[in-house]
Amino acid sequence: MSSFDDVQNRFGAADQGSLRRTNLALVLGRLRDQGPRSRARLATELGITRSGVSSLVGELVERGLVRTGVVERGAVGRPGTSVRLDGRSVCGIGAEINVHHVATMAMDLSGNVVAEHRLTLDGNRHEASEVVDRLVELVSRTEDDVAAHGAAPVGLTVGVAGLVDSTRDMLTLGPNLEWREVPVGAMIRDRLQPDYPVVIDNEGNLAAIAETLPGDPGRRDILVIFGEVGLGGGIVADGRLLRGRQGYAGEFGHMIVDPQGRRCGCGRIGCWETVAGLRALLDAAADTDDAVRDPALGLQARLAELNRRADLGDTRTLAALDQVGGWIGVGAAMLTNALNPAAIVLSGYFAEVGHHMRGSIEARLEAGVLAPHAGGTVVELSTLGFTAAVRGGATLALESVFADPTRVERLVPVAQGESR
């Protein structure tokens, strides 16, 4: 329960940590969460000596993670030297395999997006090995972009639409991909031979990480509900992703909310995703031959068409959005009783059409939560679009550096540095 363990457990580092490493992490984390500041201010805020701060900052500079520069002061006092994150030298890479596409994103330590790639692909129609081949091509291209940027990758996180057993590095079950026991991580490592760690994770978890804003109290306790063909998401509690024992947390889509309802892809009756997933919306909104149900058109175009109809006041479309919104609210209320999040962030397809569902979601939330005013929980729409999972994957890869800055080697003289 100590904070020392906390740092270790963030990314599952197995070795013994050190206070030095913890202290480097504290300085680096503060610069990320609170922005650039002087050494003197860091010393005051962290309650250590100026020389202690200088030593820590010096090491972070040597590792290329922070840089220093003159900061202007007011009329009084000498100008102090500010310390800020140096985003340039390392990148995290996020990748995603879902039913509709494969995608990647590279992000530097400061949160700047360095590269982004996406390929539309029908995950159901291809063997797992083919899908992984396509993804590895995108990752290779992303690696080239990172190298051209003058940076090195520190890790790759691959989000998949399904249950990921973190203890076995295995996609246990991807109901909508129709994959079972696929060693996605090992397949990628075999093809890519990377010199950085590759971690697989649930795409809903990664979408949740992407919505967490370090330093923003309104985004420390959030529930992210990620709508796709299936329905998943993640729980962030006190700024940290809740993973559970085997990494299976966030499988909201299979909470049974409609016991007399329809059969789910998983075989059960009345799972939340049967009434709130994309198929439920399309079934309610359109006949089977309607263009909005044609996978060939691409999801964003189809959702844009639904929005167009709703904006024009089409009764069937509005009723469908209302009905699905109500069911989103039913499940959200259950989870809000359990979790009392500051915000429920609707991600994936929910974010695209959520403005038409907000009223019905909020009404069910208010009705279904014991605490007055739904415990203060607000409903928000993600602004990350369909990049949430890859963004979260890149963030998680970078997180390993924030948890342990010594993972990035000290910079060596230029002549030798080229061997990196």
In the region spanning residues 322 to 351, those forming contacts with a second copy, defined by CB under 8 A, are 330, 333-335, 337-342
Does 14 bind a second copy (CB under 8 A)? Our answer is: no
Q: Please give the size of the binding site for a second copy, defined by CB under 8 A.
A: 77
Q: Which of residues 282-311 bind a second copy (CB under 8 A)?
A: none
Does 1 bind a second copy (CB under 8 A)? Our answer is: yes
Q: Which of residues 117-156 bind a second copy (CB under 8 A)?
A: none
**Phi, psi (deg, nearest 5) at residue 231:** -135, 125
Does 248 bind a second copy (CB under 8 A)? Our answer is: yes
Stretch that binds a second copy, among 140-148, 192-200, 280-288, 368-376 (CB under 8 A): 368-376
Q: Which of residues 62-121 bind a second copy (CB under 8 A)?
A: none
Does 367 bind a second copy (CB under 8 A)? Our answer is: yes
How far is Cα of residue 273 from the mean position of the Cα atoms in its chain? 20
3-state secondary structure of 49: coil
Does 178 bind a second copy (CB under 8 A)? Our answer is: no
Nearer to a second copy, 20 or 308 (CB): 20
Stretch that binds a second copy, among 47-55, 67-75, 106-114, 148-156 (CB under 8 A): 47-55
For residue 382, the minimal CB distance to a second copy (Å) is 18
* H/E stretch holding 180: strand 179-182
Using CB under 8 A as the criterion, what x/- string covers residues 259-278 for binding a second copy?
-------x-x----------
Nearer to a second copy, 239 or 295 (CB): 239
Nearer to a second copy, 153 or 234 (CB): 234
Q: Number of helices (H) and strands (E) in the chain: give both, helices first.
A: 15, 16
Q: What angle is formed at CA 272 by the lines to CA 268 and CA 276, rounded to 5 degrees?
A: 130
Does 51 bind a second copy (CB under 8 A)? Our answer is: no
The correct pick among 291, 319, 371, 412 for binding a second copy (CB under 8 A) is 371
At residue 252, what is the residue type?
Answer: F
CA dist 311 and 333 (Å) reads 27
Does 40 bind a second copy (CB under 8 A)? Our answer is: no
Q: Which of residues 187-226 bind a second copy (CB under 8 A)?
A: 212, 214-215, 221
Q: Which two tokens stand for residue 244?
A: 């559970």
| Alpha-carbon distances, residue 314 vs 52, 207, 284, 321, 352 (angstroms) | 65, 31, 13, 11, 17
The correct pick among 13, 29, 61, 134 for binding a second copy (CB under 8 A) is 29
How far is it between the farthest Cα atoms of the chain? 73
CA dist 259 and 271 (Å) reads 8
Nearer to a second copy, 81 or 246 (CB): 246
Name the residue among 43, 10, 53 with its Cα closest to residue 214.
Answer: 10
Q: In what order do the strands lie in the sheet with 163-165?
A: 163-165, 170-174, 179-182
For residue 394, the minimal CB distance to a second copy (Å) is 16
How far is Cα of residue 2 from the mean position of the Cα atoms in its chain? 25
Does 246 bind a second copy (CB under 8 A)? Our answer is: yes
For residue 401, the minimal CB distance to a second copy (Å) is 13
CA dist 379 and 272 (Å) reads 18
CA dist 74 and 71 (Å) reads 10
The correct pick among 13, 22, 118, 322 for binding a second copy (CB under 8 A) is 22
For residue 107, the minimal CB distance to a second copy (Å) is 16
Q: Within 13 Å and on the Cβ side, how many CA atoms surround 156?
A: 28
**Phi, psi (deg, nearest 5) at residue 90:** -130, 150
For residue 371, the minimal CB distance to a second copy (Å) is 4
